[in-house]
A = this chain, B = another copy of it.
Amino acid sequence: MRRGLWLVPVWTTVALVLAADGAGVAGRIVGAALVEGRPYEKLAYLSDRIGARLSGSPQLEKAVQWTAEEFRRDGLEKVWTEKVMVPRWVRGEETGRILAPVQHELALTALGMSVPTPDEGITAEVVEVSEFEELHALGEAQVRGKIVLYNKPIFREGGRERGYGSAVGLRHAGAIEAAKLGGVATLIRSLGTADFRLPHTGSMGYEEGVPRIPSAAITAEDADLIHRLLASGEPVKAQLRLGCRNLPDAESANVIADLPGRERPDEIVLIGAHLDSWDLGTGAIDDGAGVVIVMETMRLLEAHGLIPRRTIRAVLFTNEENGLRGGRAYAENHKDELDRHVAAIESDAGSGAPLGFRVSAGPGGEDLVREIASHLGVIHASQVRTPGGGADISPMRSAGVPQIGMWQDTTHYFDYHHTAADTLDKVDPEDLRRNVAAMALLAYMLAESEEPLPRLPPRQQ
């Protein structure tokens, strides 16, 4: 904090200098993005014509090629791909049913990276918990041989206690914790905020030395039904068949495009999003939106000759969803340049109206971003909060690279996230343009700023 206080005045000065000539540039960038931006057209191609882009799929590789070509068609001269080996998990057939005390088909979907069930499925009694504490309280005596249902509802605007983040740990570690107590499979109430009998997939993990048990997400409705049946005191028996498989890793790539800086081309403002998606929908909001916001930012700056001091680098990461291999590979491949990465900005929260930015930077950094964001009042995107970041850029954290997440309105994001309903119609073309305006302005101004954004101090890395 002392260092922070010392730095603030410096940053205030820089910010004021920026503001002086900032308004003119801001008008050009925001105006261009709103009036002539074509992110929706790019997204329509990615979502409709290429479709779902699960790691290891031909569609993801088609997306790698198309985005690289599209960067070039948009006039960028320095475009390349960097090979990344990615998991190849495939879904297969999947069914589930309650066998007793009633017969009821479960609408379910395997969690990404789950092992399959045996061909004949797994049939067992269900025990229900809403937190790991409850699971541990049940202990091995009540868990061994059972299917564990993690049943924790989440809510729109649920925040830390009742939002997505409050339950995602159950999805990630649920199979591990259940298996440690002898559980034979897990079901999880879909991490979603709507009620349309729609299962939400997502990634899950295993731990070395702990049995790998199959895991699927069921719908909110079916989780509620099991809850009511169990509440009556009767045992609930269910059957689960998952045909998913882990195949050998496949070749994929990060797609990278540079808009070289006019004075300090070796200093880099990175803007990123992830190219892969889950397989159920067409990956329009997660993260097709982010991808085209990045692509269109590059096209607009290039087309208008808005070349700042530093390089702006677009990175379309592969394999965020089930591995983060793209993000890790980028940080590893570029480790020698990371001290010259002055900021990493990620858009991976859908296509809702931009509200501003979420920032993790060194002391004074938030103020600089706030000053830049002040030019976005016209599109109501001036809010700045800390902390911030994004999954793909997080491997650069330990090198001190400041992390910024595009902050979108996510009220309805988790209605559709990781489902078959993540499709183009969920995206408002005007909101998408506003997001391009916000990202383009931030990237340009951070790349133009005389002094770079303060780096993350060690205690924040």
Quick one: which of B49, B102, B220, B228 contacts A102, CB cutoff 8 A? B49
- The digit string for A281-304, where 1 denotes a CB below 8 A from any CB of B, is 110000000000000000000000
Stretch at the interface among A63-71, A115-123, A247-255, A421-429: A421-429
Stretch at the interface among A12-20, A195-203, A341-349: A195-203
Quick one: which of B102, B196, B282 contacts A48, CB cutoff 8 A? B102
CB-CB nearest in chain B for A198: B196
Query: Which residues from chain B contact A104 at a C-beta distance below 8 Å?
Result: 51, 282
How many whole Å from A225's CB to the nearest CB in chain B?
6
Which of A44, A220, A425: most chain B Cβ within 10 A? A425
* Contact between A195 and B425, CB atoms less than 8 A apart: yes
Give the docked Cα–Cα distance between A195 and B427 (Å).
12
Quick one: which of B195, B224, B229, B420 contacts A197, CB cutoff 8 A? B420
* Contact between B197 and A197, CB atoms less than 8 A apart: no
Does any Cβ of B come within 8 Å of A221's Cβ? yes
CB-CB nearest in chain B for A58: B103
Quick one: which of B48, B220, B228 contacts A225, CB cutoff 8 A? B48
* Contact between A419 and B229, CB atoms less than 8 A apart: no
Interface hits, A104-125 → B, CB 8 Å: 104, 107
* Contact between A423 and B48, CB atoms less than 8 A apart: no
Does any Cβ of B come within 8 Å of A194's Cβ? yes
Quick one: which of B103, B224, B423 contacts A424, CB cutoff 8 A? B224
* Contact between B51 and A102, CB atoms less than 8 A apart: yes
Copies in the complex: 2
* Contact between B420 and A107, CB atoms less than 8 A apart: yes
Contacts A44-B228, A228-B44 given; does A196 touch B421 at CB 8 Å: yes
CB-CB nearest in chain B for A284: B221
CB-CB nearest in chain B for A416: B196
Interface hits, A86-114 → B, CB 8 Å: 101-104, 107
Contacts A51-B102, A102-B49, A421-B221 given; does A195 touch B426 at CB 8 Å: yes
* Contact between B102 and A281, CB atoms less than 8 A apart: no
* Contact between B421 and A197, CB atoms less than 8 A apart: yes
Give the docked Cα–Cα distance between A104 and B415 (Å).
22
Query: Which residues from chain B contact A195 at a C-beta distance below 8 Å?
Result: 421, 425-426
Query: Which residues from chain B contact A198 at a C-beta distance below 8 Å?
Result: 196-198, 421
Give the docked Cα–Cα distance between A288 and B448 (Å).
64
Give the docked Cα–Cα distance between A281 and B423 (Å).
23
Give the docked Cα–Cα distance between A419 and B229 (Å).
22
How many whole Å from A307's CB to the nearest CB in chain B?
35
CB-CB nearest in chain B for A224: B425
Give the docked Cα–Cα distance between A103 and B421 (Å).
17
Query: Which residues from chain B contact A281 at a C-beta distance below 8 Å?
Result: 197
* Contact between B228 and A48, CB atoms less than 8 A apart: yes
* Contact between B197 and A194, CB atoms less than 8 A apart: no
How many whole Å from A11's CB to the nearest CB in chain B?
44
How many whole Å from A62's CB to the nearest CB in chain B?
11
Which of A44, A101, A220, A421: most chain B Cβ within 10 A? A421
How many whole Å from A178's CB to the nearest CB in chain B?
25
CB-CB nearest in chain B for A222: B423
- A-B contact sample (12 more), CB < 8 A, given A195-B425, A197-B421, A224-B425: A48-B102, A49-B101, A51-B102, A51-B104, A195-B421, A196-B416, A197-B198, A197-B419, A197-B423, A221-B421, A221-B425, A225-B423
The 8 A-B residue pairs with the shortest CB-CB distance in the complex, in nearest-first order = A196-B196, A197-B421, A197-B420, A221-B423, A196-B421, A196-B198, A224-B425, A49-B102
9 A-B contacts, Cβ less than 8 Å apart? A48-B102, A48-B228, A197-B198, A221-B425, A224-B423, A224-B424, A224-B425, A225-B423, A225-B424
